[in-house]
A and B are shown apart, each in its own frame.
Chain A
Amino acid sequence: MPKDSGIGASSKRREDIRFLTGEGNYTDDINVNGQAHVYFLRSDIAHGTLNSVDTSAADGMEGVVKIFTGADFEAVGSVPCGWQVTDKHGEPMQEPRHPVLAHGKVRHVGEPIAAVVAETLEQARDAAEAIVLDISELPAVVNMKDAVKEGATKVHDDLTSNLCYDWGFVEENKGAVDEAFSNAAHVTTLELTNNRLVANPMEPRVAVGDFARGTGDHTLYTTSQNPHVIRLLMGAFVLGIPEHKLRVVAPDVGGGFGTKIFHYQEEAFVTFAAKACNRAVKWTSSRSEAFMSDAHGRDHVTKIELALDKDHNFMALRTDTYANMGAYLSTFAPSVPTWLHGTLMAGNYKTPLIYVNVKAVFTNTVPVDAYRGAGRPEATYQLERLVDKAAHELGVDPIKLRRQNFVTEFPYATPVAVEYDTGDYVATMDKLEEMADIAGFKKRREASEAKGKLRGFGVNCYIEACGIAPSNLVGQLGARAGLFESCTVRVNATGGLVVMTGSHSHGQGHETSFAQVVADMIGIDEGMVEIVHGDTANTPMGMGTYGSRSLAVGGSAMVKATEKIIAKATKIASHLLEASESDVELKDGAFTVAGTDKSVAWGDVTLAAYVPHNYPLEEIEPGLEETAFYDPSNFTYPSGAYACEVEIDPETGQVTVERFSAADDFGNIVNPMIVTGQVHGGLAQGIGQALLENCAYDADGQLLSASYMDYAMPRASDLPFYDVDHSCQTPCTHNPLGVKGCGEAGAIGSPPAVVNAVLDAMRSAGKDVGHIDMPVSPNRVWEAMQG
């Protein structure tokens, strides 16, 4: 029987009520009395010397409050990067200054050059049109392989080249890997592109800066996944504002998908300008601005090779990847193609030798950083495409080849530095085969063919590493941040709880699922637990939400804080019950003396904590409020197996997804409804990457896909109903809830299945093209079919 409350129940989301009635409080809904509006004049040139910014004609225009240029920010810090990668020679990566407003040079289309603060947005925009820019255009650096050639134009004149770093992992293994290749019975090679994407949360970014001269307090309202991180990065590194004078509020946030992790110039600008103008300053991104200023995702070009022995066992894997950083290093950009990608190259397989090389490259494009999955989709895509290609080259069943090479014993230490604690790849594949009705495929293909269509079946596995940790290890790997999470649980006198978490919810439903956990632990109604997040003024220092970490890391902090609450409440209860503490247990919202009918209700204990008349004051303090910080001892390793069936119209090249099955192992599940919804959303983004989405630049660095007219967002009619299962559960062994994280799986696991299915369909018509790049557009398919 499904549970109707607590852990394991599909509790309906409480946040839905305000979202369904128009009462959400998104950042753009916030207006501060007397606020002015800012419009950013952005570069329409990819690369150029900024000779002058003449604001004289704009300065006196109606409504203009103040105009800022790069010169105003010379004394201000660089927008910081939060991860320093060390290259294969032991040298630190090249790290350029990232100005709030461009100064000296412009380096990508969309880079802010000047900012006009005016009474209204329209006035700011009008005045911006009167600003005269003198820019000497330079050759744009767009193609990564050209960018690192000798003599290439440099994006940053003060760096030695456009190479941010050349990373080898594990460098000491390279010789052994190369030797395994020379002894291989078969080598499969694949060259592919992981297409550049734009995250596109439906809510564009917004930032409102406010400053109270009377107290010197700054407030920033911003569309962020991690307000404490923004407070630290912006306060400490850019503007020099101590945390106690800077409050960052991220209220209802309309989706993030990674792109709202990062600290952006616009946040620093409105905070700076609010003080300079002595009034609140608001910026709301248009969608067009979002395309050229939100950090992009993916954009890897890879050559990958697999060595197999004569029995088709994987012997070694070797990869060579170019990863686009864009023009500047966004907050976590350097970690994505390295520690979030190289460490996942073992996938679900017991390949004993692996070497990963990544060259991160500066180009005159928007900075690239984490997007749903961040490095793990890139790893999964190349590996799962490669295994499929190997199976076809060897004439063996792709599922059989995978099964033969699965890791089956846990814990398993990979040759790429991580140790999988639990998993059961055979079980998820068994489940998938059942869901995908492989036996029925032949009939479905015949039915498609009878309509003049081609039908293909594709499968893939995935493994991901979530809840990135522990802090001391990632510090050694170059992280400039801790990766713990925090929680304060405040119990009120009448028994209700306020749970203040450092995690952030921007669609994940934490207000519901986190409450389920605490209510379950105490045995009270979920409605007695309120979840507070998103405001540095009333939550403990936390790292926010990304990397499928919230329940695994934030939830663990919450469990620890609640355990402290229960421990203290048990002490109080044992005093009230005049029983030994060890005999008192909490169950269903009451403390009972074991083996007796003596009990005291939760609410009586909490009241005693705040009205301590009959209370052991000499032993414990009054009150009931506890804080915990949790630093995980390892990543979590969700895994799964996905299958896709596509139809191709050979006349047009149009691909449609007819069936999609996903068997995931997320460990324990708190709210199955929410977990399923997370997978659905991830699948749509993964299928979108595979079939539709592409962020395209021309050779001059002009962004060709800068609106929903040009960037193909998946629509309802592009997608099927999905068949999703998470009944295979191998709980995480090192966090208290045994949870693994589910937010990114769908986006990580789905692209290879789609492309494998497309290639299978083409093979059914006698076209074995080996590989086709994403997005698998009608044009690409049609051309491949003609070749």
Chain B
Amino acid sequence: MTQVKMTVNGKAATGEVEGRTLLVQFLRENLGMTGTHVGCDTSQCGACVVHVNGEAVKSCSMLAVEAQGAEVATIEGQAAPDGTLNTIQQAFQDHHGLQCGFCTPGMVMSAAALLKENPKPTEADVRHYLDGNICRCTGYHNIVKAIMAASGQDVGTIAAE
């Protein structure tokens, strides 16, 4: 067992892990932060996306020990301390960008990473960036719309309610 120390959503987090413990297991099982989800076992679905030192990472494909000393951000830390949703979260609610909610944490974290590197993405940019995030409920329409709206673009001309 190895002791790992990292910062998760700005707070110090430590735990004893095995060498094979994945970052997502550390978050879910050691820290009890169950907002980050596991939807596959081949690093395809993206439900587990978190940020490590500001980069989007699939936390199922990183060992907890690799995150030693890192700054980790998860879905639990995205809203303001008073619970106010951030711009991306609010856009997902406003544009019905989620249904069952299972892929949503990964979608929100990926969207944040996208908008950091590309503040005004086109529809094609968003769809391309989300290749590593699978949603089975929404057909992506409202996710793409929400992310474009979160970037400050007018989505009023896109079809539907």
B130 contacts A681, CB within 8 Å? no
B131 contacts A717, CB within 8 Å? yes
A450 adjacent to chain B (CB < 8 Å):
no
B159 adjacent to chain A (CB < 8 Å):
yes
Q: Give the residue of A19, A707, A722 whose beta carbon is less than 8 angstroms from that of B141.
A: A722
> Which of A239-247, A354-362, A490-498, A504-512 touches B?
A504-512
Per the bound structure, the CA–CA distance linking A523 and B140 in Å amounts to 35
B102 contacts A20, CB within 8 Å? no
* Set of chain A residues within 8 Å of B96, measured between Cβ atoms: 12-13, 673-674, 676-677
Q: Which residue of A lies closest to B134 (CB)?
A: A713
B63 adjacent to chain A (CB < 8 Å):
no
A708 contacts B140, CB within 8 Å? no
Nearest chain B CB to A506's CB is how many angstroms away? Answer: 6
* Set of chain B residues within 8 Å of A554, measured between Cβ atoms: none
A724 contacts B75, CB within 8 Å? no
B26 adjacent to chain A (CB < 8 Å):
no
B33 contacts A253, CB within 8 Å? no
Per the bound structure, the CA–CA distance linking A723 and B93 in Å amounts to 20
Per the bound structure, the CA–CA distance linking A676 and B139 in Å amounts to 11
| Per-residue interface assignment for chain B, residues 59 to 76, with 1 indicating a CB less than 8 Å from any chain A CB and 0 otherwise | 000000000000000111
| Per-residue interface assignment for chain B, residues 103 to 147, with 1 indicating a CB less than 8 Å from any chain A CB and 0 otherwise | 111001000000000000001101110110111111111111100
**Given A17-B85, A680-B160, residue A722 in contact with residue B139 (CB < 8 A):** yes
Nearest chain B CB to A253's CB is how many angstroms away? Answer: 7
* Set of chain B residues within 8 Å of A719, measured between Cβ atoms: 127, 139-141
* Set of chain B residues within 8 Å of A21, measured between Cβ atoms: 35, 75-76, 78-79, 83, 85, 89
**Given A29-B34, A709-B44, residue A724 in contact with residue B160 (CB < 8 A):** yes
* Set of chain B residues within 8 Å of A203, measured between Cβ atoms: 37, 39, 100, 102
Q: Give the residue of A677, A708, A714 whose beta carbon is less than 8 angstroms from that of B99.
A: A677
Most B-side CB within 10 Å, residue of A16, A683, A723 = A16
Per the bound structure, the CA–CA distance linking A721 and B124 in Å amounts to 11
* Set of chain A residues within 8 Å of B16, measured between Cβ atoms: none
* Set of chain A residues within 8 Å of B76, measured between Cβ atoms: 21-23
* Set of chain A residues within 8 Å of B44, measured between Cβ atoms: 707-709, 713
User: 8 Å CB contacts to B: which residues of A387-441?
Assistant: none
A539 adjacent to chain B (CB < 8 Å):
no
Which size class do A's interface residues fall under? 35 or more
Per the bound structure, the CA–CA distance linking A682 and B105 in Å amounts to 22
| Per-residue interface assignment for chain A, residues 1 to 24, with 1 indicating a CB less than 8 Å from any chain B CB and 0 otherwise | 000000000101101111111111
User: 8 Å CB contacts to B: which residues of A1-59?
Assistant: 10, 12-13, 15-24, 26, 28-29
B154 adjacent to chain A (CB < 8 Å):
no
Nearest chain B CB to A472's CB is how many angstroms away? Answer: 34
Nearest chain A CB to B65's CB is how many angstroms away? Answer: 16
A24 contacts B41, CB within 8 Å? no
* Set of chain B residues within 8 Å of A707, measured between Cβ atoms: 40-42, 44
Per the bound structure, the CA–CA distance linking A15 and B93 in Å amounts to 9
A15 contacts B101, CB within 8 Å? yes
* Set of chain A residues within 8 Å of B34, measured between Cβ atoms: 22, 26, 28-29
Most A-side CB within 10 Å, residue of B20, B38, B128 = B38
Chain B count of residues within 8 A CB distance of the other chain: 61
B45 contacts A708, CB within 8 Å? yes
A201 contacts B100, CB within 8 Å? yes
Q: Which residue of A lies closest to B77 (CB)?
A: A22
A716 contacts B126, CB within 8 Å? yes
B161 contacts A20, CB within 8 Å? no
Q: Give the residue of A253, A255, A673, A722 whose beta carbon is less than 8 angstroms from that of B136.
A: A255
**Given A20-B89, A22-B74, residue A287 in contact with residue B40 (CB < 8 A):** yes
A288 contacts B138, CB within 8 Å? no
Per the bound structure, the CA–CA distance linking A21 and B39 in Å amounts to 18
**Given A28-B38, A716-B144, residue A681 in contact with residue B136 (CB < 8 A):** yes
Nearest chain A CB to B128's CB is how many angstroms away? Answer: 6
* Set of chain A residues within 8 Å of B98, measured between Cβ atoms: 16, 19-20
A254 adjacent to chain B (CB < 8 Å):
yes
* Set of chain A residues within 8 Å of B45, measured between Cβ atoms: 202, 287, 708
| Per-residue interface assignment for chain A, residues 672 to 714, with 1 indicating a CB less than 8 Å from any chain B CB and 0 otherwise | 1110110011111100000000000000000000011100011
A201 contacts B102, CB within 8 Å? yes
* Set of chain B residues within 8 Å of A202, measured between Cβ atoms: 37, 39, 45, 47, 100, 102-103, 134-137
Q: Which residue of A lies closest to B104 (CB)?
A: A19
B1 adjacent to chain A (CB < 8 Å):
no
B36 adjacent to chain A (CB < 8 Å):
yes
A96 adjacent to chain B (CB < 8 Å):
no
Per the bound structure, the CA–CA distance linking A202 and B161 in Å amounts to 25
A506 contacts B100, CB within 8 Å? yes
B158 adjacent to chain A (CB < 8 Å):
yes
Q: Give the residue of B20, B35, B141 whose beta carbon is less than 8 angstroms from that of A24.
A: B35
B138 contacts A680, CB within 8 Å? yes
B137 contacts A681, CB within 8 Å? yes
B161 contacts A673, CB within 8 Å? yes
A16 contacts B101, CB within 8 Å? yes
Per the bound structure, the CA–CA distance linking A709 and B145 in Å amounts to 27
* Set of chain A residues within 8 Å of B161, measured between Cβ atoms: 10, 672-673, 676
A286 adjacent to chain B (CB < 8 Å):
yes
| Per-residue interface assignment for chain A, residues 231 to 267, with 1 indicating a CB less than 8 Å from any chain B CB and 0 otherwise | 0000000000000000000001111010000000000
Nearest chain A CB to B74's CB is how many angstroms away? Answer: 7
* Set of chain A residues within 8 Å of B79, measured between Cβ atoms: 20-21
Nearest chain A CB to B58's CB is how many angstroms away? Answer: 12
Q: Which residue of A lies closest to B83 (CB)?
A: A21
A16 contacts B140, CB within 8 Å? no
Most B-side CB within 10 Å, residue of A12, A202, A508, A681 = A202
* Set of chain A residues within 8 Å of B89, measured between Cβ atoms: 20-21
A200 contacts B136, CB within 8 Å? yes
User: 8 Å CB contacts to B: which residues of A120-146?
Assistant: 122
Nearest chain A CB to B90's CB is how many angstroms away? Answer: 8
Most B-side CB within 10 Å, residue of A22, A24, A254, A722 = A22
Most A-side CB within 10 Å, residue of B85, B138, B158 = B138
* Set of chain A residues within 8 Å of B128, measured between Cβ atoms: 716-717
Most A-side CB within 10 Å, residue of B36, B136, B141 = B136
* Set of chain B residues within 8 Å of A201, measured between Cβ atoms: 100, 102, 136
* Set of chain A residues within 8 Å of B138, measured between Cβ atoms: 677, 680-681, 684
A112 adjacent to chain B (CB < 8 Å):
no
A310 adjacent to chain B (CB < 8 Å):
no
Nearest chain A CB to B77's CB is how many angstroms away? Answer: 9
Known: A18-B101, A23-B76. 16 other contacts (CB 8 A): A13-B93, A16-B98, A22-B34, A22-B36, A254-B100, A254-B102, A288-B42, A677-B96, A684-B139, A709-B42, A713-B44, A715-B134, A716-B140, A716-B143, A719-B141, A722-B160
Q: Can you pick out 14 interface pairs between chain A and chain B where the beta carbons lie within 8 Å of each other?
A: A21-B76, A21-B78, A200-B136, A203-B100, A252-B101, A254-B37, A254-B101, A287-B45, A680-B141, A681-B137, A708-B44, A714-B140, A716-B135, A716-B143
The 9 closest A-B pairs by CB, nearest first: A22-B35, A19-B101, A254-B102, A684-B139, A507-B100, A708-B44, A507-B99, A680-B139, A22-B75
